[in-house]
Amino acid sequence: MSRTYFDNLRDFIAFLEREGELRRIRVPVSPRLEMTEIADRVVKQGGPALLFENPVREEGRPSYEGGYEEHRRAAGGPTEGRPSYGGRYNIPVLMNAMGTRRRMQLVLGSEAISDITANYLSLLDQHEAPSFLEKLKMLPRLKEVADALPTVVRDAPCQEVVMQRPSFEPFPILTCWPGDGGPFITLPLVFTRDPDTGRPNCGMYRMQIFDATTSGMHWQIHKGGALHYRKAESRGQRLPVSVAVGGDPVVTFAAACPLPPDSDEMLLAGLIRKRGVRMVKSLTNDILVPAESEIVFEGYVEPNERRREGPFGDHTGFYSLPDDFPVFHLTCVTHRRDPIYHATVVGRPPMEDCFMGEAIERLFLPVIKRLLPEIVDLHMPFAGVFHNLVLVAIRKRYPGHARKVMHGLWGLGQMMTTKVIVVVDEDVNVHDSEETAWKVLNHIDPQRDLEFVLGPIDTLDHASRLPNFGSKVGIDATRKWPEEGFTRPWPEEIRMSPDVKKRIDSLWKELGL
């Protein structure tokens, strides 16, 4: 697939429309629940990106009604007809922009997404370094990737308009599900700096709107933004934060990638785009944000301030429970003259985030293979919602090899929260759920082949014994060797002989079947 790169979100929208991948919705639709229901149906049908051109407020309903109980009551019974509307937002809403494999390939510009990473890893092989990890640290210094480094500009489209009274009110921020604690910004690019080193971090952390100028900041304990906040809080300092919405699709994708600490997500975006991301200094702090963004919310998070956030209908398919999180205070809003609000909705898979997660899996597979070269392939099924299940095919070379791989994966960044890791032999297609289940269930003795460990668990895991901590299981579904204490014969898999298959192939049309 030839590569097409986009300077900004509107370039991507125009491209999707030319490719027949965008549907404009001109019917009045509310960002409270209605857009979610439409987008949920469309993504599950493999449908197009959606541009809601006429988002409207429900008459008589405040913009930011909070409170779980009110939502529970609202969801408790049928309603007659559609609600009446009390005005337009005048800002269109883009959803489901990356909600198919094809659109993810259009975003990343590669038929085989893993080729992007593999090409840069081949550059590292041309330079000597004591270890692969040291080579990765060299990447920003290589001449071949100099053009991918972010550049700072003075004038930026995202600062064409500066709101006189900064507020979340004018924006069609989604209330996604009936039990949600309120509206949430669902595709925010949250930029912070390490208080010690000054290094930037960009992450995607949901933000529940509390009122016109404050929101929650859902910094899970394992995330880079949370680390920056803990450092600032330990000093009694507020942490400056800038939040961009509506970057070009590669920038948005990079913000969702689980990079190692101190990595620059904007450099990753530049590497994928083959040109650097243009950045601009925020107006009220020193944080750099993508210059081509649609909207930027500037502000800060105070130390030792928490507010109850949630529930939120999450990518697990269940509501994540209410908890106390830091509070973002809005001090400035800038945007393009005619901004587009970019949003997504998560819930029971498959959803748009599944296709983004699948692309992340493919993008980082070459790196995982470098660190654990026995891995042939790896797959995170949609139903496993990223952190619940990883299927791994390996070239088994010695007794206990599968267990070495389990623990190796649990030691890799965000893989540490994986609840279930299943290791199979290299001849198993881990992307075929039927084949994988067949091989796994035939190959295991449960007492012998299951290994339980305790460790970090994803914050959204509602079944763990404690928040962020619980048990995990590794399943060795490889063929067992005598050196592993297995002395019985291991049976051969049933396969038809090739000559018979060839003979029947030649007869197939004649058989009329």
Contact status, residue 418 vs residue 184, Cβ threshold 8 Å: no
Which residue in 314, 458, 461, 476 is the catalytic one? Answer: 314
Find, among 479, 375, 483, 482, the residue nearest to 421 by Cα. 375
Is residue 350 packed enough to be buried (19+ CB in 10 Å), middle (13-18) or exposed (0-12)? middle
Contact status, residue 273 vs residue 340, Cβ threshold 8 Å: no
- Rounded CA Rg of the chain: 25
CB count within 10 Å of CB 274 equals 13
> Is 314 an annotated catalytic residue?
yes
Contact status, residue 378 vs residue 422, Cβ threshold 8 Å: no
Q: Which residue pairs, CB below 8 angstroms and at least 24 apart, start in 196-200?
A: 196/231, 197/262, 199/262, 199/264, 200/264, 200/266, 200/287, 200/288
Q: Which residues contact 506 (CB under 8 A, 6 or more apart)?
A: none
282: helix, strand or coil: coil
Report the C-alpha gap between 260 and 199 in whole angstroms: 13
Report the C-alpha gap between 284 and 303 in whole angstroms: 19
Beta strands in 131-247 (DSSP E): 151-153, 161-162, 184-185, 189-193, 200-203, 207-208, 214-216, 239-245
Report the C-alpha gap between 82 and 34 in whole angstroms: 10
Measured CA distances, 149 to 37, 216, 281 (Å): 40, 31, 16
Q: Which residues contact 90 (CB under 8 A, 6 or more apart)?
A: 170
Find, among 270, 291, 262, 277, the residue nearest to 193 by Cα. 262
Report the C-alpha gap between 51 and 273 in whole angstroms: 24
Q: Which residue pairs, CB below 8 angstroms and at least 24 apart, start in 205-210?
A: 206/312, 207/243, 207/328, 208/181, 208/182, 208/183, 208/184, 208/309, 208/310, 208/312, 209/64, 209/168, 209/173, 209/182, 209/183, 209/184, 209/185, 210/64, 210/66, 210/182, 210/307, 210/327
Find, among 35, 36, 38, the residue nearest to 47 by Cα. 38
Give the pair of three-digit tokens for residue 248: 């070009």
Cα dihedral sign, 5-10-12-14:
negative
CA torsion 465→467→470→474, rounded to 10°?
130
Q: Which residues are catalytic?
A: 314
